[in-house]
Amino acid sequence: MTLRHLNIFVVVCQENSITIASKKLYISQPAVSNAIKELENYYGIKLFERFSKKIYLTDVGKSVLSYAIHITSLFDDLETSIRNSDNIGNLRIGSSITIGNYLMPNYIKQFSLKFPDIQTFVTIDNSEEIEQLILENQIDFALIEGIVHSDHIISKSFLNDELVVICSVDNPLLEQAVITIKDLEKQNFLMREKNSGTRKIADSILLLHGISIIPIWESASTGAIINGVSNGIGISILPLRLVQGFIDEGKIRKLEVVDINLQRQFYIIYHRNKFLTPASMEFLKLCRE
């Protein structure tokens, strides 16, 4: 078993086709098939099931793929590491939407001032999609607000954050002397999409108090939710960092709910098999500071 076998296996998985993989690798289709067969024989396992001329990864194949991706990527990391030792190279950074909107632009600016020859590539998506990119080695590390679900990913908190309940300026709840979480139960909710870190935490907090909601709006756009709230369509739970400006401008109001804790953490995540280059470590140090 060689690196060549693993590389061919990874490309076949990525393309889900031996034929397409052979074209991408510029080798014959029989050579690709033989490499897969040799890999299966070496470990005494079945990597693919074949039905109606299509291939499907087996459970053990999925496990092998997780390691193969990172084994083959170590050679790319080696080159990047050597170049980064002279402050030359690139970083592939992932970010959840909240962090991407509020924190990432300043992080990139500060890092680029210190390391102008290192190119940064940023992918901003919901936390669940970013976690998948980590597992597929499409990004080197990421900053998210959600809790990771894979044992293959290391997660470390780096910053405190707060969610807040927001409403329109004429919401009747503002007239109450005391607002409790039960008062929210009859409100219409406008929420982030299900896979976002903000949504997962908000849902968890509400469920802890016996409240299960069905939002009338779901959106990946914080701006769309804020506009909906300001027009009295319903209330929402969003990061204070993203809504503070709208509160200051008087477009929306913050509901002071007495019996709810909306504190949370932002996390740095990376694959446990990932080699973090000196440039990566510098960027993460900047985030913590």
* 6-39: pLDDT as tens digits: 889 899 998 889 889 889 989 998 999 898 999 8
- State the pLDDT at residue 6: 87
Tokens encoding 135: 């597992």
- State the pLDDT at residue 92: 94
Q: Does domain 80-159+266-288 have CATH number 3.40.190.10?
A: yes
- State the pLDDT at residue 188: 95
Tokens encoding 4: 């060549």
Q: Does 182 score more than 60 pLDDT?
A: yes
Q: How many CB atoms lie within 10 A of CB 249?
A: 9
Q: Does 86 score more than 70 pLDDT?
A: no
Tokens encoding 150: 């894979």
The candidate with the shortest Cα–Cα distance to 193, out of 95, 126, 262, is 126
- The overall average pLDDT reported for the chain is 89
Under a CB-based contact definition with an 8 Å cutoff, are residues 220 and 203 in contact? Answer: no
Q: Does 172 score more than 90 pLDDT?
A: yes
User: What digits encode the pLDDT tens for the residues 96-140?
Assistant: 988 998 899 999 999 999 888 889 999 999 888 999 999 998 999
- State the pLDDT at residue 153: 95
Strands 153-167 and 190-192: unpaired
> How large a percentage of the chain has pLDDT more than 90?
47
- State the pLDDT at residue 98: 85
Tokens encoding 256: 């002071």
Q: Does 83 score more than 70 pLDDT?
A: no
User: What digits encode the pLDDT tens for the residues 42-79?
Assistant: 889 999 888 877 888 999 989 888 888 888 887 777 76
Residues 6+ apart with CB under 8 A from 120: 90, 91, 93, 108, 111, 112, 283
The architecture (CATH level 2) of 160-264 comes to 3-Layer(aba) Sandwich (3.40)
Q: Does 85 score more than 90 pLDDT?
A: no
Instruction: List, in sequence order, every residue forming a beta bridge with 118; answer none if it has no partner.
Output: 89
Q: Which amino acid is at 188?
A: N
- State the pLDDT at residue 84: 55
- State the pLDDT at residue 79: 67
Where does CATH 3.40.190.10 sit in the chain? 80-159+266-288, 160-264
Pairwise CA distance, residues 35 & 41, whole Å = 10
Q: Answer with the residue of higher pLDDT: 222 or 1.
A: 222
Q: How many CB atoms lie within 10 A of CB 82?
A: 12
- State the pLDDT at residue 129: 92
The CATH number of domain 3-70, selected from 3.40.920.10, 3.50.50.60, 1.10.10.10, 3.30.1160.10:
1.10.10.10
- State the pLDDT at residue 257: 92
- State the pLDDT at residue 109: 95
- State the pLDDT at residue 73: 82
Pairwise CA distance, residues 80 & 279, whole Å = 9
The candidate with the shortest Cα–Cα distance to 174, out of 255, 101, 251, is 255
- State the pLDDT at residue 224: 94
Under a CB-based contact definition with an 8 Å cutoff, are residues 12 and 32 in contact? Answer: yes
Where does CATH 1.10.10.10 sit in the chain? 3-70
